[in-house]
Structure 1
Amino acid sequence: MNVDIKIERSVEVDAPYEKVLPLLTDLEGTIRRFPKLRKLTKLGPNAYLWEMSTIGSKAANIAHEVSYGAKYNIDAKRGEISWVPVPDRGNATIEGRFKLLDQGQRTKLTFDVRGKLREVPVPLMYRLLAPPFIQGKFTRLVDIFLENTREAVLGGAK
């Protein structure tokens, strides 16, 4: 079964834009804060293959190890990292952007992602429930990523 995902989330950081800006220059460090990322393989300049740990529920037999290739563009003037899928890499196509918005003494981190997960093994009886369930799992991962990133900016360990 193929499952579409679309997530838009944001979080505010109690730090000025200049303190948050290094997130754009440390692309690999920023990516590695994403939860469930098992392996990150460089495919070329600013291009990576993501291999994630199992996402879902083994008890419900809705579990998938997502992998996908992405080519990143860093636009420091706009305060943005955007990415597009690398064709024929993995079992998903994911695109999106991570944007920093200057709010004076605070900075808003915005994360928008959309894509398609292919060949997700879902038992017939769960076909209607699987898309919102999987969307919810990915939304939680994005929330954790934003929190990890906020903590890193503020001097935390993540």
Structure 2
Amino acid sequence: MAFQVEINVEKEFATSASLGEVYALLADVPRSASHFPKVERFVDLGGNAYRWEMEKIGIGGHTLHETIYACLYTADPNGHTISWTPVAGVGNGLVEGGWSMTRKGEETLVTLHTKGILTVDLPSFLQLLLSPLVVMEFNLMIAEYLQNLSTTLNRG
């Protein structure tokens, strides 16, 4: 029987890029997504909804988990926020979250908050062993994503 893994992330980084530059990058979902590691396919579903198909997580030749999910994105240029909500019935994950950004002195502070519930199609007795690996992998990908975005924004 499958089990679920919940992932909650809240991270922040600062950049010398302007509020407008940061917003423009993050509101352009395909451009922003191109900075995310281990994306096998990123599919435009229309209406500002996108399906993420991630590379498989595995050990040796064994696949432990493959994550597929879709989100609908909403951008608010006045509030400098971008949010996403899950598209039900697509894949094995439900992911929601958002970006917020504010100018503080010479820097723009960028905050990411996201929550995901991933269904792992493996026997539930493996949950204690595999859940921490799935969470760790997701957190490593988020850290790399933020670093990639920061590098792009600081080239500015």
Q: TM-score, normalised by structure 2?
A: 0.88
Match of 1:44 among 43, 46, 55: 46
How far is 1:121 from its partner?
Answer: 2.7
8 Å contact kept, 1:62–1:121: no
Q: TM-score, normalised by structure 1?
A: 0.87
Tell me whether 1:94 sits opposite 2:85 in the alignment.
Answer: no
How far is 1:123 from its partner?
Answer: 7.5
1 or 2, which has the higher helix percentage? Answer: 2
Tell me whether 1:65 sits opposite 2:66 in the alignment.
Answer: yes
Q: State the Cα RMSD in Å.
A: 2.1
8 Å contact kept, 2:92–2:118: yes
Kindly report which structure 2 residues correspond to 1:22-41, keeping only aligned pairs within 5 A, or say none.
Answer: 22-41=24-43
Which contiguous aligned blocks of 4+ residues in structure 1 show a shift greater than 6 angstroms? Answer: none
How far is 1:59 from its partner?
Answer: 4.2
Percent identical among aligned pairs is 30
Match of 1:155 in 2: 155
Stretch of structure 1 that moved more, 6-15 or 87-96: 6-15
Match of 2:20 among 18, 21, 29: 18
Question: Any idea what the Cα deviations from partners look like across 1:109-137, whole Å, max 9, x if unmatched?
Answer: 2111112111343673x422322322121
